[in-house]
Structure 1
Amino acid sequence: MKILIAATPLTGHINPLLAVGRAAAARGDDVLVLSDALFREKIEAAGLRFTAYADNGSATFRETGLPAGPERYRREFQRRFIDPMPGQAEVLRGLIADEAPDVIVAGSLFLGVLPLLLDAAPRPPIVTVNVSFLFLDRPDHAPVGLGLPPARDRAERIRYAALKAGMDAAFTNPVRAYTDGELARLGLPPLPASLPHSIVVLPDLFLQPTVPGFEYDYGTLPPGLRFIGLLQPPTPPAPLPDWWPDLEAANAAGKPVVLVTQGTLANADFGELVEPALAALADRDDRLVLATTGGRPVAALRGPIPANTRVASFLPFRDLLPRVSVLVTNGGYGSVSQALAAGVPIVSAGLTEDKAEVNARVGWSGAGINLATNAPSPDDLREAVTRVLTEPTFRQRAGALQAAFASRDAMAGILTAVDDLARSGPVRSGGAGLAVPLARSA
């Protein structure tokens, strides 16, 4: 089978799809990965074929001329994900003609698949693998993006509806109109719903890498949506840090281990989370604190490293998380999912990108504490970590989610979905969320 993987050039987006590609290649499939040339070495090191499109720094674009708020987030989203869409679609069409893939597997923010999904022309089946929270429109009328838990009563639903009207005017509707304008220039129809909702309902299958217990109740779900559990990213080929024996000693002694991370994207300023977290826990000799700089140099941390702290640029989360007592994170979806799959409770603090929504689910699920800020104080972090370590309900709830994750084999689910769609052959889009199989030639 020939599989074309289309990945947004961000580490947190590449890694899950790289895991899919390696699993497919291991069973004999011919896998070609499309992303920016920055990831060529990483993808080819995984034994996969690679082809590039020019992202031109879109995925990492940051708007520095505006304060945090809807206008800044709208401009960033448009520049990062919508502006590359026409070029991505053109490259995809060329690869379909040249490579004749049986299935396309795309990350959820690789929007170059949308023109194919809205076009009436024949195409391969398309599977979208989400890399974030489930961003369907909500039945309680809460706006997507503000990090609001499910409404508890009618008064809250009314308040949410008012907030949604404001969010629609400032962000959702302009983003949809901007996307529709790009689609119109390609001679294609507009989106059937808001952009986030359309991303979920248009593909032939939409795979959500979590368990239902970490998602809100959306009522009737789209027919192509499947919860698949944890999509474990590959472990980086890096040696264990030289302080690893300190971790083993802490585990043997029953000493709590706190892991701190700002991920690989929103880590330009460690003063937002990592540094205040290290300061908050610096005087606790009864705890071992671990921190990762997400690929940045360890020297980027300002000030002396506390005596109870060990730092590394990268850490192997698959090996590390079973040894950790609590994760302190700004809310990267991959890190949160890996922690919960390992039964690790969480202290979260982050509002940028998708983090307000991810962290709201941390608090709502009962598996941790959401501080709901980009800049938590050392005092707040100290109190939250202490609560998560001493109040058993957080670990109990994280343990329940761990059991739910353990009951689902994400990779098997993905490969089964790919096989099922490949057997159906080429399809023709027949409307939002509908695809009509085409008869195979004899």
Structure 2
Amino acid sequence: MKILFASQAIDGHFNPMTGVAMRLKDRGHEVAWYTGPVYADKLGGMGIRHFPFRRATEHRADNLNELYPERATLKGPRAIGFDGEKIFASNVSHFFEDVREAALQYPFDVAVVDSSMFIHRLVSHLMGKPVVNFVAIPNMESDPQVPPLFFGFRPPRNPVEKAIQGLAGLLSDKVILRPAAQSYRQQHSAYGQAVPREGRLTDEPYRCSDAIIQTGPESLDFPRRRVNPKVHYVGALLPYRAASQSGTGSSGFPRSYPTTLVITQGTVDKLDQDKLIVPALEAVKDMNALIIVATGGQGTKALTARYPQPNVVVRDYVDFAEVFDYTDVFITNGGFGGAQLSLSKGVPLVVAGINEGKSDVNARVEYAGVGINLRTESPKPADIAAAVGKILADPGWKSRARKMREHFEGADPAEAAAAVVEAAGRRTPG
């Protein structure tokens, strides 16, 4: 079977797909990938044919503010609306034309498409190809019991909260995401594709795919009234690592401390370390604990000089799969991949993030009782210290995180995802 993966040029979208791609290769399938030029070397190292963006703009974690200087000044709903239109909706027709061109050289049998590319309807309806929607973020399909996206709501507990969330949903649909939805409809109209009025823009990848690979366990999602049989919760999908890359991530970390804390601000919103990394270090630097900081390659040298304490170790990148084996609390802005990996090891979290969908991840962490949500992207050191102290003092937090770990154990996520792709490739697109 010829399989085409297609993803944004953003680590949090690309990386979770790599383990699935390599598992499919191991199972004898031919795999190619459509994504940004930034991943050319990585794909080459995996032996995967690369079709780089040609018409599409390459949106990366490190170039968004360069492409759109005004983005750095936006907060909350305005930031969500801007990203929806500029980063996601604007590229739909460019993505599709690139994929259609790639198909002339690589006539694929099934496409595995990043949910945020929004080309599922075009690939399925115009190319007649089975499509698997790959969701590297929380389940975005609307449901009467699930709060509207991007506000960080938990399921409503009373009529007042339900009314507030209903109004927020209308605000999201009619104002915040309206430019993105209009752009999406206009681009589809140019191809003669009518987009249903019911539902939300974020429902489209679910509506137009033959199957959905949803990362994370179902227990980390909110309860739903409607069960979509096409959605397969597969667990924590880790980035592919060659055998030679294993076992090196924790070298140099002292193990003589009674407690280990891990801090990260993610891979996208990492430029201003005063948001989370610095206040977190100020909160915990004097604890009798090993403090491991992953900067994502931003300001590592300066941060090391600023915090020379022997218990603070600052790295560009950290092998979370290794260090979470002995971590007590994970302090993060709420990237979904990191949150899943933390919980797959039974590690409770302190989360502080708003943009890029982080508020929805953090609301799920809070709802599941496996972490403390500070509900801001710029927490105060005192609030971080209090949250960390609360988790360390109450064994219930670790107990619930370990209970969640059971939902990750047993199944092989890459194997489960590969099986979803294979089954979709054998079906007629619908």
CA distance in 2, matches of 1:272, 1:303: 19
Matched, 1:58 2:59: yes
Bigger mean CA deviation after superposition, 385-394 or 52-61: 52-61
CA RMSD of aligned residues (A): 1.9
Matched, 1:422 2:428: no
Q: After superposition, where does 1:215-294 map in structure 2 within 5 Å? A: 215-235=221-241, 237=245, 239-240=248-249, 243-244=252-253, 246=254, 248-250=255-257, 255-284=258-287, 286-294=288-296
CA distance in 2, matches of 1:361, 1:26: 34
CA distance in 1, matches of 2:414, 2:238: 8
- Per the alignment, do residues 7 and 190 of structure 1 end up closer, same or farther by CA in structure 2, a change over 3 Å counting? same
Q: Match of 2:123, as an amino acid?
A: L
Contact 1:71–1:171 (8 Å) recurs in 2: yes
SS at match of 1:23: helix
Contact 1:58–1:81 (8 Å) recurs in 2: no
Number of residue-to-residue matches in the alignment: 418
- Per the alignment, do residues 240 and 91 of structure 1 end up closer, same or farther by CA in structure 2, a change over 3 Å counting? same
Q: Which of 117, 123, 126 lines up with 1:116 in the alignment?
A: 123
CA distance in 1, matches of 2:94, 2:411: 36
Q: Which of 73, 78, 100 lines up with 1:71 in the alignment?
A: 78
Tell me the equivalent position of 1:187: 192
Q: Match of 1:243, as an amino acid?
A: G
Matched, 1:400 2:403: yes
CA distance in 2, matches of 1:221, 1:227: 12
CA distance in 1, matches of 2:306, 2:108: 53
**Runs of at least 5 residues in structure 2 that lack an aligned partner in the other structure:** none
Q: Which of 375, 380, 386 lines up with 1:377 in the alignment?
A: 380
Q: Over residues 191-241 of structure 1, what are the superposed CA-to-partner deviations in whole Å (9 max), with x where a residue is unaligned?
A: 453111222222110111111211101211222111111112234849546
Q: Over residues 13-57 of structure 1, what are the superposed CA-to-partner deviations in whole Å (9 max), with x where a residue is unaligned?
A: 111111111111122211101111111001111221211113434
- Per the alignment, do residues 129 and 141 of structure 1 end up closer, same or farther by CA in structure 2, a change over 3 Å counting? closer
Tell me the equivalent position of 1:352: 355
Tell me the equivalent position of 1:45: 45
Q: Match of 1:421, as an amino acid?
A: A
CA distance in 2, matches of 1:187, 1:88: 17
Point out which structure has higher relative CO (alpha carbons under 8 A, 6+ apart): 2
SS at match of 1:142: coil
Bigger mean CA deviation after superposition, 81-90 or 296-305: 296-305
CA distance in 1, matches of 2:302, 2:134: 33
Matched, 1:137 2:142: yes
CA distance in 1, matches of 2:174, 2:355: 20
Bigger mean CA deviation after superposition, 222-231 or 375-384: 222-231
Q: After superposition, where does 1:83-122 map in structure 2 within 5 Å? A: 83-117=90-124, 119=125, 121-122=126-127
**Runs of at least 5 residues in structure 1 that lack an aligned partner in the other structure:** 428-434, 436-442
SS at match of 1:4: strand
Measure how far apart 1:291 and its partner are. 0.3
CA distance in 2, matches of 1:83, 1:365: 35
Q: Which of 208, 222, 236 lines up with 1:202 in the alignment?
A: 208
Identical amino acids, percent of aligned pairs: 25
Measure how far apart 1:72 and its partner are. 3.0
TM-score by length of 2: 0.92
